[in-house]
Amino acid sequence: MIPSVNTTGNATSSNLKNDLLLQALRGEQLSRPPVWMMRQAGRYLPEYMVLRRKYDFFTRCQTPELVCEITLQPVDIVGVDAAIIFSDILVVPQAMGLEVLMEEGKGPSLPAPIKSVDDLKRIVKPDVNDQLHYVMDALTLTKKTLDGRVPLIGFAGAPFTLLCYMVQGKGSKTFDEAKSFCFTQPALAHQLMQMITDTTIEYLIAQSKAGADVVQLFDSWSGLLSPADFEAFALPYIKQIVAAVQPHCPVIVFAKGSWYAIEAMAATGAAVGVDWCIPPAMARSFAGKHTTLQGSFDPAKLMMAPADIKKEAHKMIDAFGVQHYIANLGHGITPNIPVDHARAFVDAIKEYNAK
116 is in an annotated binding site: no
Q: Looking at the predicted structure, is the pLDDT value of residue 3 above 90?
A: no
Question: With contact defined as beta carbons under 8 Å apart, do 222 and 175 qualify?
Answer: no
- Compute the average pLDDT of residues 282-300: 97
Strands 107-109 and 101-103: antiparallel
Q: What are phi and psi of 139, to 5 degrees?
A: -60, -45
**Residues 239-253 pLDDT 10s:** 999 999 999 999 999
* 88, 213, 275, 347: the active-site residue: 88
Share of the chain above pLDDT 70, in %: 95
220 is in an annotated binding site: yes
What CATH number corresponds to the domain at position 238? 3.20.20.210
Share of the chain above pLDDT 90, in %: 93
Question: With contact defined as beta carbons under 8 Å apart, do 238 and 35 qualify?
Answer: no
* 43, 198, 229, 343: the active-site residue: 43
- Domain of residue 99: give its range: 20-351
**Residues 170-198 pLDDT 10s:** 999 999 999 999 999 999 999 999 999 99
13 domain-assigned: no
1 domain-assigned: no
Q: Looking at the predicted structure, is the pLDDT value of residue 7 above 60?
A: no
**Residues 301-350 pLDDT 10s:** 999 999 999 999 999 999 999 999 999 999 999 999 999 999 999 999 99
Q: Is 325 a catalytic residue?
A: no
258 is in an annotated binding site: no
Question: With contact defined as beta carbons under 8 Å apart, do 33 and 104 qualify?
Answer: no
Q: Is 39 a catalytic residue?
A: yes
331 is in an annotated binding site: yes
14 domain-assigned: no
Question: With contact defined as beta carbons under 8 Å apart, do 324 and 291 qualify?
Answer: yes
Q: Is 52 a catalytic residue?
A: yes
pLDDT for res 240 = 98
39 is in an annotated binding site: yes
* 165, 237, 325, 352: the active-site residue: 165
5 domain-assigned: no
88 is in an annotated binding site: yes
pLDDT for res 354 = 61
**Residues 87-117 pLDDT 10s:** 999 999 999 999 999 987 788 999 999 999 9
Give the pLDDT band (50/70/90) at residue 6.
very low
What is this structure's pTM? 0.95
9 domain-assigned: no
pLDDT for res 108 = 94
Q: CA angle, 59 as apex, 53 and 63 as ends, to 5°?
A: 120
In the chain, the number of structural domains is 1
Strand segments (E) across the chain: 83-84, 101-103, 107-109, 152-157, 214-219, 251-255, 271-273, 293-297, 325-329
Q: Looking at the predicted structure, is the pLDDT value of residue 2 above 80?
A: no
pLDDT for res 107 = 86
- Compute the average pLDDT of residues 4-9: 40
**Residues 51-101 pLDDT 10s:** 999 999 999 999 999 999 999 999 999 999 999 999 999 999 999 999 999
Q: Is 48 a catalytic residue?
A: no
3 domain-assigned: no
Q: How far apart are CA 294 and CA 218, in angstroms?
A: 13
- Compute the average pLDDT of residues 209-226: 98
129 domain-assigned: yes
- Compute the average pLDDT of residues 211-221: 98
pLDDT for res 1 = 46
2 domain-assigned: no
Arithmetic mean of pLDDT over the chain: 95
Q: How far apart are CA 131 and CA 70, in angstroms?
A: 22
Least confident of 4-8, 22-26, 72-76, 111-115: 4-8
